[in-house]
């Protein structure tokens, strides 16, 4: 689009230059009135074949000869350039849409980010850092172009439309993040997504407290109020600065490659039926087990060494990204 815009500006500037030059030439050489000079220039470069408004002098004919040569050349180049630009734009859009569709069709267990505003950009950035597949859907051309330039897969469409969600692969998706501007739009997205896939994990932003209950009734698994959260964090940094710094350290890294992850223990894992002490996770991987979420929903914080690991449990662990990846590989390894 930017290339097409630049080419259009160049063509318009070239035509304007030849029209202004021709008009000034007829005024200065033949002393034509300004409008007659402009009209004479226009019929000359457009090759319509009208006769001269006034008889031309020798100097005027010489000038008109150059105007015909350069003017007609520029007009032909302008028409050709416009035609080429339009054809390229149509072909790029056609093949671009096909390429994006193929990429979307190849997505599985991905996340759909509806809306690429401030909250949506933050969510998409975190998904990108986590290295998981995701798709951005927004009805703003500028925001979609912004997402694509950032290296993300994005489409311009109405996220509240069922067909858009189907095209985005909602039936194959793992989760959906609703970050549209209004609560009503987010509510509609949740209802549509849950109707298409009831098991879909959905998180949504909410602007007003009154809408939070409606979001949960519609099927949202998690609801976030950005403004309330910002206010809480601003107060916490005053009351508990060290706690706040630790949270930022574990969630944002603070320049270090440290984070918190959840690792699911499959039933076939070698860690099943072992006590936490026997796994030697901290010694072998340098990873701290903060909690164990049992398969029945119970959460065991700061689990003791005697805590048993069962299939379907989730280990909430903290450590360096490299160590976390090693642990995940070992935990998910199927026993012989």
Kindly give, in sequence order, each residue whose CB lies less than 8 Å from that of residue 126, ignoring residues fewer than 6 positions away.
none
Q: Give residue 283's pLDDT.
A: 84
Q: Residue 13 pLDDT > 80, yes or no?
A: yes
| Tokens linked to 204 | 């949504």
Residues 318 and 284 in one domain: yes
pLDDT per residue as tens digits for the range 252-283:
654 556 778 888 888 888 888 888 888 888 88
CB atoms within 10 A of CB 153: 16
* Residue 42 placed within a domain: yes
Q: Do 184 and 149 lie in a common domain?
A: yes
* Residue-number span of the structural domain to which 308 is assigned: 257-331
Number of domains, the chain: 3
Rounded distance, CA 301 to CA 318, Å?
A: 13
Q: Distance between CA 68 and CA 332 in Å, rounded?
A: 77
Cα–Cα distance, 124 to 111 (Å, whole number): 9
Residues 91 and 130 in one domain: no
pLDDT number for residue 336: 47
**Closest-CA residue to 137 (of 182, 88, 180, 108):** 180
Residues 222 and 134 in one domain: yes
Residue 303 lies in a domain: yes
CATH number reported for the structural domain that contains residue 293 in this entry: 3.30.70.1450
Sign of CA pseudo-dihedral 264, 270, 272, 278: negative
pLDDT, one tens digit per residue, over 33-67 is: 889 889 888 888 887 767 777 788 888 888 888 88
Please calculate the CA angle 204-206-210 and round it to the nearest 5 degrees: 125
Contact 4, 82 (CB under 8 A): no
Torsion (CA) 48, 52, 53, 58 in degrees, nearest 10: 140
Sheet holding 222-224, edge to edge: 154-156, 134-138, 111-114, 175-178, 201-205, 222-224
pLDDT above 80 for 156: yes
Using alpha carbons, select from 322, 331, 213, 318 the residue that is nearest to residue 272: 331
Give me the long-range contacts of 23-32 (CB less than 8 A, separation at least 24): 25/63, 25/67, 26/60, 26/63, 29/57, 29/59, 29/60, 29/63, 30/54, 30/56, 30/57, 30/60
pTM exceeding the 0.95 threshold for the entire prediction: no
**Average pLDDT of span 284-312:** 88
Domain CATH number, residue 61: 1.10.287.70
User: Comparing 36-45, 172-181, 237-246, 315-324, which segment has the lowest mean pLDDT?
Assistant: 237-246
Last residue of a domain, one of 88, 103, 118: 103
d(CA 165, CA 195): 11
**pLDDT more than 70, % of the chain:** 90
Closest CA to 53 of 63, 62, 42: 42
Does residue 57 lie within any of the structural domains?
yes
Tell me whether residue 98 is exposed, middle or buried, using C-beta atoms within 10 angstroms of its C-beta: 0 to 12, 13 to 18, 19 or more. Answer: exposed
pLDDT band at 2 (very low <50, low <70, confident <90, very high): low
In a domain, 262, yes or no: yes
What are the residue ranges of helices labelled H in 150-271?
162-167, 183-196, 209-218, 226-239, 241-252
- Report the mean per-residue pLDDT for the chain: 84
Same domain, 17 and 30: yes
User: Does residue 128 share a domain with residue 96?
Assistant: no
Do 308 and 293 reside in the same domain of the chain? yes
**Is the separation of the CB atoms in 184 and 210 below 8 Å?**
no
Average pLDDT score over residue span 99-106: 84
Last residue of a domain, one of 103, 134, 164: 103
């Amino acid at each position: 689009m930017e290339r097409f815009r630049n080419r259009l500006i160049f063509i318009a500037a070239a035509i304007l230059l030849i029209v202004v030059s021709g008009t000034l030439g007829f005024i200065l050489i033949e002393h034509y009135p300004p409008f007659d000079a402009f009209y004479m220039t226009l019929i000359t470069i457009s090759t319509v074949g009208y006769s001269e408004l006034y008889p031309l002098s020798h100097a005027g004919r010489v000038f008109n000869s150059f105007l015909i040569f350069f003017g007609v050349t520029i007009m032909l180049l302008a028409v050709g350039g416009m035609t080429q630009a339009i054809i390229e734009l149509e072909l790029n859009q056609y093949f671009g849409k096909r390429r994006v569709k193929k990429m979307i069709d190849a997505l599985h267990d991905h996340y759909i980010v509806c809306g690429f505003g401030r909250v949506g950009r933050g969510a998409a950035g975190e998904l990108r850092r986590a290295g998981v597949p995701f798709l951005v859907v927004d009805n703003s051309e500028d925001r979609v172009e912004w997402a694509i330039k950032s290296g993300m897969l994005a489409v311009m469409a109405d996220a509240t439309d069922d067909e858009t969600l189907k095209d985005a692969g909602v039936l194959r998706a793992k989760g959906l993040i609703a970050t549209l501007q209004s609560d009503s739009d987010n509510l509609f997205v949740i209802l549509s997504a849950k109707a298409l896939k009831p098991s879909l994990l959905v998180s949504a932003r909410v602007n007003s407290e009154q809408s939070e209950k409606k979001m949960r009734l519609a099927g949202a698994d998690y609801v976030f109020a950005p403004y309330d959260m910002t206010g809480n964090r601003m107060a916490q940094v005053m009351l508990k600065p060290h706690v706040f710094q630790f949270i930022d350290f574990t969630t944002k890294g603070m320049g270090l490659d440290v984070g918190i992850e959840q690792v699911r223990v499959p039933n076939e894992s070698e860690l099943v039926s072992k006590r936490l002490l026997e796994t030697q996770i901290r010694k072998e991987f340098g990873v701290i087990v903060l909690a164990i979420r049992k398969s029945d929903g119970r959460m065991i914080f700061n689990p003791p060494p005697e805590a048993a690991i069962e299939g379907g449990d989730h280990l909430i662990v903290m450590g360096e990204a490299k160590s976390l990846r090693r642990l995940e590989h070992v935990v998910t390894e199927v026993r012989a």
